[in-house]
Amino acid sequence: GENVEQHPSTLSVQEGDSAVIKCTYSDSASNYFPWYKQELGKGPQLIIDIRSNVGEKKDQRIAVTLNKTAKHFSLHITETQPEDSAVYFCAAYSGGGADGLTFGKGTHLIIQP
Amino acid sequence: DTAVSQTPKYLVTQMGNDKSIKCEQNLGHDTMYWYKQDSKKFLKIMFSYNNKELIINETVPNRFSPKSPDKAHLNLHINSLELGDSAVYFCASSPYGQLIGGYTFGSGTRLTVV
């Protein structure tokens, strides 16, 4: 089955700086890569996703890049703000139909004022 | 109007008891899931139901049984609770075969077994 590795486990950056979280996956058949943000006491929420036929996708301060050859994808957050503090999860999907997403172990992002 | 709602939000119970967690989605999605999040925040899939048919059962003990009366509901029943069952359980839903928009998660049920 799919295996997703995520780094770092904790990331502390100064407010206004950029943050980068990296993930690798094992199954070359994976074709969909979402990122989720989980705030304290809440469920994960989708913030951005990318499909395997696209190399990069941007949404305001958030961008995701995908390198299919190397089987890795990254989340980039620019101009970080205090409300960006949360746990971020990457995930990969390789199955058809109702197969589940495989999640990375999460990155605790801390924005220092 | 909550898209995926699960109850209760908190559940404290003694070892050996039987308990249920309920989940409902009003998104019209065909597939619903249960995920377990441990103390280290790791999210692991437990079950997936598509149109009342179990699709995945990832080596979960048979003390856990999902029950889906209709495609908008997927409840989780747990027999003979153990200390190691303490975790946060998340329900989620998605359209069948389409992950545009990804999963929609509920807000979680924190289960504590004492």
Q: Do A43 and B90 touch (CB under 8 A)?
A: yes
Predicted confidence (pLDDT) per residue in A49-63, tens digit? 999 888 999 999 999
CA A112 to chain centre: 20
Sorted by sequence, the CB contacts under 8 Å of residue A69 that are 6+ apart come out as: none
From A35's Cα to the closest Cα of chain B, the distance in A is: 9
Tens of pLDDT, residue by residue, chain B (114 residues) = 679 999 999 999 999 999 999 999 999 988 899 999 998 889 988 888 887 678 777 678 999 999 988 889 999 999 999 999 999 999 999 886 655 557 899 999 999 999
Whether the CB of B48 is below 8 Å from some CB of chain A: the reply is yes
Measured CA to CA, the distance from residue B19 to residue B56 in angstroms comes to 22
Please spell the DSSP secondary structure of A14-81, one letter per residue.
ETTS-EEEEEEES-TT--EEEEEEE-TTS--EEEEEEETT-SEEEETTEEEEEETTTTEEEEEE-S--
CA A20/CA A95 separation, integer angstroms: 27
- Assess B41–A contact: CB distance below 8 Å, yes or no: yes
Q: Are B46 and A47 in contact (CB under 8 A)?
A: no
- Condensed to tens digits (0 to 9), the pLDDT of residues A68-113 reads 999 999 999 999 999 999 999 999 987 654 457 889 999 999 999 9
Cis peptide leading into residue A113 (ω within 30°): no
- Which of A34, A87, A98 lies closest to B48 in CB terms? A98
Min Cα distance B22 → chain A (Å) is 15
Minimum-distance CB partner of A96 among B97, B106, B108: B97
Strand partners, A84: none
